[in-house]
Amino acid sequence: MKHGTNPNWFANSPLSRVNIEKDQEAFFNARLADPKSLVIPLWRGDPLMTDGSPAFLSVGALSQFPKDAPVILLGMKDERAYFAVDVSAAESAETAPFADIGDYVQLRIAAGVLTRDDLAIIGQGRWYFEWRRKHRFCGNCGGETRLEAGGAKSRCTRCEEEHFPRINPVAIMLAIHDNACLLGRGHQFPPGFVSALAGFVEAGETPEECARRELFEEAGVVIDDVRYQFSQPWPFTCSLMMGFIAEAEGREINLDMEELAEARWCDKADVIAVLNNETRDFNVPPKFTIARQLLERWVKE
Ligand SMILES: [Zn+2]
């Protein structure tokens, strides 16, 4: 499988997205009636899995789900349509439909075992349902919205305003200086777990400006040059993570203790040892994160 220059998990979906602006109802319904079509159930964003694989059910199984369970067309592959169905209305994963044939596995845990293709498909479904859950009403007039175009957008039933999925841009940046990189730990993480720093891009700001600002605000590190690397759709927060490697002017750290519990410069040799599981002096994020991929790219530079 080729991933071009983007090594990230949740990226490089094998599905081709379908533009069904015209005749959308007819297209959607024809795919729903096609016995080749498959559907993955998600309970609060977590996929149904059997024997370590996602449980893609025949689309006919939808008749056994609640009538009002949201269904989204994710895309096509080899003339087969892939849908996701949201069973979050069930009170628990154990009582959700088809829990008798498998388990709804937390996506962060499933991410460690799923193939990249499956993870891209499931991440897309989680993303749409998360957006849908938070945007059921129109921001323009407060009316109810309903999904259109297979779920790729919604429209207000009152004022007809169109609404598209809200994507939150985030800059994530590995600051480097000579043979060391800056890793920090947010208060929510256990001691020893460090990662690249990150922050949401603000209105009227470029991701590059955001990278400079966040490194200065959180760690007091001044950046000389910022180089874009690659991006990752991140379904846990409906974010688009944009990864940078940033050359720092020096190693002085002035920590914002409200934002970070710690930040430190780590030598490349030590980072390589951690990536290779040769030491546990500190821990870095798992392979399915863009932070890890930035580290992997930097150590190969
Ligand atoms: Zn409206």
| Distance from C-alpha of 218 to C-alpha of 118, rounded to nearest angstrom | 35
CB 181 within 8 A of CB 102: no
Q: Cα of 145 to ligand 1 centre, how many Å?
A: 7
Task: Indicate the residue among 134, 155, 178 that finishes a domain.
Answer: 134
184 & 124 share domain: no
Q: What is the domain range of residue 47?
A: 24-134
Ligand 1 ion: nearby residues, β-carbon < 5 Å: 138, 140-141, 143, 156, 158-159, 161
Q: Tens-of-pLDDT digits for all 301 residues of the chain?
A: 455 579 999 999 999 988 766 677 888 899 999 999 999 999 999 999 999 999 999 999 999 999 999 999 999 999 999 999 999 999 999 999 999 999 999 999 999 999 999 999 999 999 999 999 999 999 999 999 999 888 889 999 999 999 999 999 999 999 999 999 999 999 999 999 999 999 999 999 999 999 999 999 999 999 999 999 999 999 998 999 999 999 999 999 999 999 999 999 999 999 999 999 998 889 999 999 999 999 999 999 8
Residue 160 lies in a domain: no
- Identify the pLDDT of residue 20: 65
124 & 180 share domain: no
80 & 196 share domain: no
> What tokens were used for 108?
């962060």
199 & 105 share domain: no
Q: Cα of 298 to ligand 1 centre, how many Å?
A: 47
Q: Cα of 157 to ligand 1 centre, how many Å?
A: 7
Q: Cα of 156 to ligand 1 centre, how many Å?
A: 5
| Distance from C-alpha of 174 to C-alpha of 13, rounded to nearest angstrom | 26
| Distance from C-alpha of 263 to C-alpha of 198, rounded to nearest angstrom | 13
Where are the alpha helices (H) located in the chain, listed in sequence order? 24-33, 107-110, 116-134, 207-219, 268-275, 290-300
36 & 120 share domain: yes
85 & 182 share domain: no
Q: Cα of 83 to ligand 1 centre, how many Å?
A: 27
Structural domains counted in the chain? 2
Residue 62 lies in a domain: yes
Q: Cα of 171 to ligand 1 centre, how many Å?
A: 32
Residue 159 lies in a domain: no
Residue 17 lies in a domain: no
Residue 19 lies in a domain: no
Tokens 């991929």 sit at which residue? 293
Q: Using alpha carbons only, what angle is made at residue 78 by residues 72 and 82, rounded to the nearest 5 degrees?
A: 15
Task: Indicate the residue among 109, 134, 159 that finishes a domain.
Answer: 134
Q: Cα of 201 to ligand 1 centre, how many Å?
A: 27
Q: Residues near 123 by Cβ (< 8 Å), separated by ≥ 6?
A: 10, 107, 233, 235
- Identify the pLDDT of residue 7: 95
Residue 144 lies in a domain: no
Q: Residues near 245 by Cβ (< 8 Å), separated by ≥ 6?
A: 173, 174, 176, 226, 227, 229, 294, 297, 298
Residue 65: count other Cβ atoms within 10 Å of its Cβ: 21
Q: Which of 255, 257, 261 is nearest to 187 (CA)?
A: 261
Q: What is the CATH number of the domain that holds 242?
A: 3.90.79.10
Q: Cα of 61 to ligand 1 centre, how many Å?
A: 34
Residue 48 lies in a domain: yes
Q: Cα of 155 to ligand 1 centre, how many Å?
A: 8
Residue 51: count other Cβ atoms within 10 Å of its Cβ: 6
